[in-house]
Structure 1
Amino acid sequence: MSKLGTLGARLHRGEIGYDFVGKRFIWYGISILITITAILGLSVRGLNMGIEFEGGAVFTTEKTSTSVSSAETFAEEASGHDAIVQKLGNGGLRIQISGIDTAKSDEIKQALAKDLKVDSEKINADLVGPSWGDQVANKAWQGLAIFMVLVVIYLAIAFEWRMAAAALVALIHDITITVGIYALVGFEVTPGTVIGLLTILGYSLYDTVVVFDSLKEQTKDITKQTRWTYSEIADRSINGTLVRSINTTVVALLPVAGLLFIGGGVLGAGMLNDISLSLFVGLAAGAYSSIFIATPLVADLKEREPQMKALKKRVLAKRAQGETPVAAQVSDEQPYDDEDDDAAPAVVGPRNQPASRNRGRGRPSGKRR
């Protein structure tokens, strides 16, 4: 851990760094490939929508010896629709059937009681009408759209429109990947999934805003100097916050991984999967997009400005003359001033004072008289 802390300090001071912006087209290609895969999975397999969105019924039984596979067969025969059956901790079953007419729920309930050999009075039925499910879906999409608009407006005011556009692209990237993985895995989409999506979008924005804030501070009066291009300073901003982003992402992923792999996989608590999968995938995708997508995209947009193009020409011309070392780094506290470029190099190490000819003259000898 001490080595990681030392590495973070050296990255923050600019002593070492990785060229994230320079290799941005590699990251863009990886993201496009993953996004296309997610879109294909969504188009081919589609989403497994829960009854909250499609309408249907959930039947909960008391303790029974019937297996999950047998219960699925009985439920599909009784309803004519696909069924999802989960084993509960008390030995009972949770049978979810989407897309059925709620008027047929009593008929399905009687058939299940007969097949499962349980009392029909002890089977609880929760019904959701299709119109209510449509309202939930519409409200979810409206909430997501409002969230996106507010984010863009805030970032445009707090930073600038280029950063707002880059953050929006990163958010769409994270949502597409998360939804695509849901389609490929086949997990059920519930209101918990929507909550998870909104949560990871906020987390993704947190990471992105941290990098943007560092970038904003380091690019003040950038055109008054001839040492660094905008892309190089953007690279420094990423490196300066890299270890913090990794640490916060790992700490956030650990409990979510416990919910997904232990709670949902080992313990069989399938109802945790809907929210834990969206959180796990979204947190990882959000950390990736804030480092590899959002900031390099801002650098791309800024480098197209006439001022930044002119700055880049001046920087490259000065480096061609050998006046500015390419490998040098600028500290966070160092102001951008052209006067510093021609200043004499500072003396490093102890300074040797010349011996004085009159040293010791007039000093008391310390002898007693």
Structure 2
Amino acid sequence: MSKLGTLGARLHRGEIGYDFVGKRKIWYGISILITITAIVGLAVRGLNMGIEFQGGAVFTTEKTSISVARAEEYAEAASGHDAIVQKLGNGGMRIQIAGIETDKSDQIKEDLAKDLKVDAEKINADLVGPSWGDQIANKAWQGLAIFMVLVVIYLAIAFEWRMALAALVALVHDITITVGVYALVGFEVTPGTVIGLLTILGYSLYDTVVVFDSLKEQTKDLTKQTRWTYSEVADRSINSTLVRSINTTVVALLPVGGLLFIGGGVLGAGMLNDISLSLFVGLAAGAYSSIFIATPLVADLKEREPQMKALKKRVLAKRAQAAAQAETGQGHGGAEEPDGPEDTEPEDAAPAVVGPRGTSASGTQSGPRNQPASRNRGRGRPSGKRR
């Protein structure tokens, strides 16, 4: 842990760092490949929408000895639709059948009671009409759209429109990947899934805003110096917040992973899968997009500005001049000509440390040397007074 803390401190001070922005084409390529895979999975397999969105019925039974596979067969035979059966902790079952008419639920309930050998009066039925499911779906999409619009407006006011655009791209990236994973895995999409999506979007924005805030502080009066380009400052902003982003992401993924793998997998609480999967995938995708997508995209957009193009030319020209002077100094035995006044810039010049008697710290004379008065001056000479 001490090594990790030391690493974080060195990253924050800019002593070490990784070139995230310089290798942005690699990250863009990885994101495009993952996004295409998610879109293909969504187009081929589609989403397994829950009854809250397409209507249907959920039957909850008391304890029964019938297996889950056999119960699925009974439910599909009774309803004529696909059924999802989950074993409950008390030995009962939760049978979900989508797309059925509500007026057929009583007959399906009677058939299930006979096949499962339970009392029909003890089977609880929750019905959802198709029209109500459509309203829920529309409200979910409207809420998501309003959320993203408000986020873009806030970021445009708090930072600038380029950062707002980059954050929007990162959000769409996270949503597409999460929805694509749902399609590939086949988990059911419920209102809990929508809640999970909204949660991970907020978390993704948290990491993004932290990096953007650091970038905004470090780019003040950037064009008045010639040491760094905008992309290099953006890279420093990512590195300075990297360890914190990793720590917060890992800490958030641990309990969500417990819900997904232990609660949904080991304990069989399938109702936790709809929200835990969206949280797990979304948190990981959000941390990735904040580091590898949002900030490099802002750097790309800013580098297109005329001021930043001119700054980059000045920075590269100054570095080329310094390299040429270093080579010239080596070729002449280390004697390097001093820079002229036109090569000196106030923001980059280090103040000279002046030593005693007008010399610099290196011992070289920094100005005209003023000789002290000699103690023997005037000895053996007339004082100049007339007698």
TM over 0.5: yes
Aligned to 1:125: 125
Instruction: Specify whether residues 127 and 311 from structure 1 end up closer, same or farther in structure 2 by C-alpha distance, changes over 3 A only.
Output: same
Instruction: Quote how far apart the aligned CAs of 1:205 are.
Output: 0.1
- Once the two structures are superposed, residues 1-58 of structure 1 have per-residue CA deviations (whole angstroms, 9 ceiling, x without a partner) of 0000000000000000000000000000000000000000000000000000000000
Per-residue deviation at 1:275?
A: 0.2
Distance in 1, Cα, partners of 2:261 & 2:176: 22
SS in 2 for 1:340: coil
Contact 1:52 1:191 in 2 (8 A): yes
The 3 A distance-change label for structure 1 pair 266 and 366 is farther
Instruction: Kindly state the Cα deviation for residue 273 of structure 1 after the two structures are TM-superposed.
Output: 0.3
Scaled by the length of structure 2, the TM-score of the pair is 0.85
The structural deviation recorded for 1:368 is 50
Q: How many Å apart are 1:329 and its aligned residue? A: 24
Cα deviations by residue, 1:308-348 (Å, 9 ceiling, x for unpaired) = 00000000000066699xx999999x999974455247779
Change (3 A) 1:366 1:61: farther
* Inter-partner Cα distance in structure 2 for 1:139 and 1:206: 25
- Larger deviation, residues 259-268 vs 343-352: 343-352
Count of aligned pairs between the two proteins: 366
How has the CA–CA distance of structure 1 residues 331 and 200 changed in structure 2, closer, same or farther, with 3 Å as cutoff?
A: farther
CA contact (8 A) 2:325 2:336 kept: no
Q: Which runs of 5+ in 2 are unaligned?
A: 329-333, 355-366
Q: Please give the secondary structure, in 1, of the residue aligned with 2:241.
A: helix
| Matched ranges for 1:206-225 at <5 A | 206-225=206-225
Change (3 A) 1:70 1:222: same
Structure 1 pair 61–19 and aligned structure 2 pair: CA distance change class (3 A): same
Q: Is the 8 A contact 2:174 2:285 kept in 1?
A: yes
User: 1:223 touches 1:311 (CA, 8 Å); kept in 2?
Assistant: yes
Name the CA distance, whole Å, in 1 between partners of 2:341 and 2:257: 44
Bigger shift: residues 270-279 or 339-348: 339-348
Q: Provide the secondary structure at the position in 2 that maps to 1:57.
A: strand
* CA spacing shift, 1:335–1:146, aligned 2, 3 Å: farther
User: Does the residue aligned with 1:70 lie in a helix, a strand or coil?
Assistant: helix
CA distance in 2 between counterparts of 1:167 and 1:309 reads 23
Aligned partners of 1:78 and 1:112 also within 8 Å:
yes
Offset of residue 264 of structure 1: 0.5
Q: Do the aligned partners of 2:55 and 2:131 also contact (CA within 8 Å) in 1? A: yes
In the TM superposition, residue 367 of structure 1 has moved relative to its aligned partner by: 46
Q: Deviations over 1:156-183 (max 9, x none)?
A: 0000000000000000000000000000
- Alpha-carbon distance in 1 for matches of 2:91, 2:71: 13
The yes-or-no answer on 1:329 pairing with 2:341 is: no
CA distance in 2, matches of 1:136, 1:181: 22
Could you tell me how far apart the structure 1 residues matched to 2:297 and 2:348 are?
A: 33
SS at the partner of 1:96?
Answer: strand
- Write out per-residue CA displacement over residues 107-128 of structure 1, whole angstroms, 9 at most, x where no aligned residue: 1001101111111111000000
CA distance in 2, matches of 1:95, 1:126: 10
Secondary structure of the structure 2 residue equivalent to 1:145: helix
Q: Could you state the TM-score of these two structures normalised by the residue count of structure 1?
A: 0.89
Higher relative contact order (CA 8 A, sep 6+): 1
CA contact (8 A) 2:174 2:282 kept: yes
Q: CA RMSD in A?
A: 7.3
Label 1:240 to 1:322 Cα distance change in 2 as closer, same or farther (>3 A).
farther
Native 8 Å contact 1:14 1:329 kept in 2:
no
In terms of Rg, which structure is larger? 2
Tell me the secondary structure at the aligned position of residue 327 of structure 2. coil
Query: Separation in 2 of the partners of 1:104 and 1:364?
Result: 135
* Structure-2 change in CA distance of 1:9 and 1:363 (3 Å): farther
